[in-house]
Chain A
Amino acid sequence: MNKSSKKAQKNENRFPGFFIVQAWLVLLLASFFGAALAGIQLTLAPKIEANKLNETLEKVPELILGADAARALAESGQAMTIDRQYVTAGSKTYSVFKAGMDNQIAGWVIKAAGQGYADKVELLVGTDTTISTITGLFILDQKETPGLGNKIMEPAWRGQFSGKPIAKPLTAVKTGADADDEINAITGATISSKAVCNIINQSLKNLKQPLADALKNPTSADNQQEKN
């Protein structure tokens, strides 16, 4: 008996559905665990979203004014008014937070997300009123490589973005960023660094016009604020 006919005979023994019968426990457990996890997700997701929103609202003053000025503001007992809006641009819907101080708009904070090296990166970008300069960056959620890519969370790195003009898209360069549109990539984490730049570029490109329009044609709520 040659090798191929032996193999054929062996395959005949495997009746249809052989693998399904073998794996019935795995399949059963997978469906059961899947259902359990869906239940957990449904129960806890609103709470997790609320935690993220709280963190975002806490970060807004820092992202627009800078850490020192935000601390001074908090110490003087003042607070920014934060107005959450949803803006649809470029096939995506963004959460945009309009921050106001003394009845005047102080800046915008945009929540954006995109693919990083390992998983989705969620971040907040602060811009000035006219959407011409970045005023701050904060990473809300990331799962980048510990020790390399997760350095995008460090203030030293994300501080580079403050004061960058928005006119030109940002690029991550390996060393010696000196131009206005250059950011020093993290050593060993070029992809994570580029991903952050791309997320920022994309969201600002999409939102620049809608937000500028929103300023030009203030909604009735804004008119009331101005009258006050």
Chain B
Amino acid sequence: MADQPTAFERFTQGLLPENPVYRQLLGLCPTLAVTNSVQGAMTMAGAVLFVLLCANVIISLIRDLLKPHLRIVVFTLTIATFVTIVDRFLAAYMYQMSKNLGPYIPLIIVNCIIICRCEVCASKQSVFTAAADAVGQSLGFALALASIASVREILGTGMFFGIRVLPEMWPDWVIMVLPPGAFLTFGLLLGAVNWVAARKKAGD
């Protein structure tokens, strides 16, 4: 296992070089669905951080006990448990946010970022590396959600985090907070990220 990335590499890779949204194109359902406000996007990112961290740590702890043909069942079981905990917790302490996010919190269960990290990292590496990987990937996810949500919320409502940033005369581009706005913003930002990456590569 000498060629496995170290904890620090895992952490930094998640942020940009292997960003789950912009580079791996994983977890796009919540990326498109909950980014019409920054608050909702950050709640989603927090929920994913909790689920991914807990799932990665548990899977890493039991990685020597996993049977190859039963590992996906164990991953799913673990992920589903922590998603249910987040869902109940939000319903109890952030009721309005839980209603706004609706089914997207329970849908974290099928967010492939998490099962991908369990498979790629946690089931093979130590607890510390798995935790670093979870935090790195979650921050990368949060970064991606924040970038899309900022563009959509500012252009769509003239507000950022619920606070007005554009002058009152700004004609709210309602389409930005509707589903088409998600695709437009994500497509353009993804293009920009790829363009920067290609230029960097050409410059090397």
Residues of A within 8 A of B (CB): 22-23, 25-26, 29-30, 33, 36-37, 40-41, 44, 47-48, 51, 55, 118, 142-144, 146-147, 150
**CB atoms of B92 and A150 under 8 A apart:** no
Residues of B within 8 A of A (CB): 33, 62, 65-67, 70, 73-74, 77-78, 80-81, 84-85, 88-89, 91-93, 95, 102-104, 106, 179
**CB atoms of A147 and B179 under 8 A apart:** yes
**CB atoms of B179 and A26 under 8 A apart:** no
Q: Contact partner of A22 among B65, B70, B77, B106, CB < 8 A?
A: B70
| Selected A-B contacts with CB under 8 Å, 15 pairs | A22-B70, A23-B70, A26-B70, A29-B74, A29-B77, A36-B81, A37-B85, A41-B88, A44-B89, A47-B93, A48-B91, A48-B92, A48-B95, A143-B106, A147-B179
**CB atoms of B91 and A26 under 8 A apart:** no
Q: Contact partner of B84 among A23, A37, A55, A146, CB < 8 A?
A: A37
CA distance A178 to B70 in the complex (A): 56
CA distance A118 to B93 in the complex (A): 25
* SS class, residues of chain A in contact with chain B: helix
Q: Which chain B residues border A29 with CB–CB below 8 Å? A: 62, 74, 77-78
Q: Which chain A residues border B80 with CB–CB below 8 Å? A: 33
Known A48-B92, A143-B103; further 12 A-B contacts with Cβ < 8 A: A25-B62, A33-B78, A33-B80, A40-B84, A40-B88, A44-B89, A44-B92, A47-B92, A48-B88, A142-B102, A146-B33, A146-B104
Q: Looking across the interface, which residue of chain A has its beta carbon closest to that of B85?
A: A40
**CB atoms of A30 and B104 under 8 A apart:** no
Supposing A25-B66, A55-B95 touch, asked if A146 and B103 sit within 8 A by C-beta, the answer is: yes
Identify the interface centre among B74, B80, B106: most chain A CB within 10 Å of its CB: B74
Q: Contact partner of B81 among A23, A37, A44, A146, CB < 8 A?
A: A37
CA distance A131 to B103 in the complex (A): 33
**CB atoms of B70 and A44 under 8 A apart:** no
